Amino acid sequence: MKRKLFILISFLLFTLNGVNAQYASTKVKDKHEAYIDSLKQVKYDNVFPIWGQKVYEKGFDIPYPTGVMVNYIYLKQGLVIDNLQLGILTDNLDIPLTGVNFIEFGNNYTSGSSVMVRPDVWVLPFLNVYGLFGTGSSTTEVNLKFPIELQSIVEQEITTAGFGLTAAAGLGPVWLALDGNITWNKPELLDEAVKVKTVGIRFGHNFVNKNKPYRNIGVWAGAMSVSLGSKTVGELKLSDALPPETFDRADQIVAAYDDWYNNTATLPQRAIADQTLGPVVDAIGAADGSAVVRYGLDKSTKEKWNGVIGAQYQHNKNWMFRTEAGVIGDRKSILLSLNWRFLL
């Protein structure tokens, strides 16, 4: 009954990303009976996890309660942009943000890499609480298709802080983990941090070393969802927003804009363009890279969910090495991880 209770509670208590592939479990094979018997004799006097002594008495093997994980992460995903606002600041103009409803976008992307430190503690045998702290860089590519073709590529440094929960349950070598976290990511060129919510579910199997039951290789598959804080407001120099080749073809951009403005645009569109896109095109034509472009927009991921696969090698209860890749869906990612666990 207690084993069933642990599994049931693990299904109910979740909000969750960053699964540790460690869990409270019993070894169901006969060759591990001696190891199970030794677990039942453990005198556990650590504060965490709560109920640790009772878990050991039932023959469960639980991870060391505290740990520090260092992760390297690379990710690329599509973006959907709506509700664009533009403004500009030059020596002669000071135009605030104004909505632009006629601009059409092509494919937009964000990519980046970061190094994250993840301290954690197993508060309960099935519930892990952790923090996330990191730094890295990102590149955002935005492609305008109408009324002019224009590409903006912005590179910037990012700092990250957040927290999360992981709930996990195992029966023999099979386990399920549910994970979620919230992070605040502050790009250097944005006015405010971007809030990101991540939820994941993973189902896996551990292959236990027949002679060293504390050593294993785990493999898993699952799915991950990422939700971005939608509103973004910032400003940057035109030379930082546009690649140098944009100014090399400034005459083509100005000609395409004038053709649209004079022959296709409606009167309401012209009124908006006079306060937004027109001054930006004029600055490109004048090669004025010092002009400051103000922008506001709503953004979301092109696909909320993607599939992941991963593997972990646990050398002992102190050291684990892990990798995970996002391979199914629009979001592509790779994670490399080193985890050190210890008793308080």
What is the per-residue pLDDT for 59? 66
Whole domain around residue 134: which residue ranges?
Answer: 2-342
Average pLDDT of the residues in 260-280: 94
What is the per-residue pLDDT for 29? 53
User: Which one-letter DSSP state was computed for residue 21?
Assistant: S
| Number of domains within the chain | 1
User: Which one-letter DSSP state was computed for residue 190?
Assistant: B
Give the predicted TM-score (pTM) of the model. 0.81
Contact between 168 and 182 (Cβ < 8 Å)? no
Average pLDDT of the residues in 298-304: 90
In the Cβ-directed half-sphere of 87, how many Cα atoms lie within 13 Å? 13
Nearest CA to 309 out of 332, 290, 277, 343 is that of: 332
Determine the Cα–Cα distance for residues 79 and 300; give it in Å rounded to an integer: 6
Q: Which amino acid is at 258?
A: D
Determine the Cα–Cα distance for residues 136 and 116; give it in Å rounded to an integer: 9
Q: Which residues contact 139 (CB under 8 A, 6 or more apart)?
A: 110, 111, 112, 153, 154, 155
For residue 118, how many other CB atoms are within 10 A of its CB?
21
Average pLDDT of the residues in 43-50: 80
What is the per-residue pLDDT for 5? 38
The answer to whether residue 196 scores a pLDDT higher than 70 is yes
What is the per-residue pLDDT for 109? 94
Name beta bridge partners: 342: 66
Local confidence band at 320 (pLDDT 50, 70, 90 cut-offs): very high
Contact between 95 and 280 (Cβ < 8 Å)? no
Local confidence band at 51 (pLDDT 50, 70, 90 cut-offs): confident
Average pLDDT of the residues in 43-54: 79
Determine the Cα–Cα distance for residues 291 and 236; give it in Å rounded to an integer: 8
Q: Which residues contact 212 (CB under 8 A, 6 or more apart)?
A: none
Mean pLDDT of all residues in the chain?
86
User: Which one-letter DSSP state was computed for residue 343?
Assistant: -
In the Cβ-directed half-sphere of 66, how many Cα atoms lie within 13 Å? 6
What is the per-residue pLDDT for 26? 44
> What angle (nearest 5°) sits at the alpha carbon of residue 340, between those of residues 338 and 343?
165
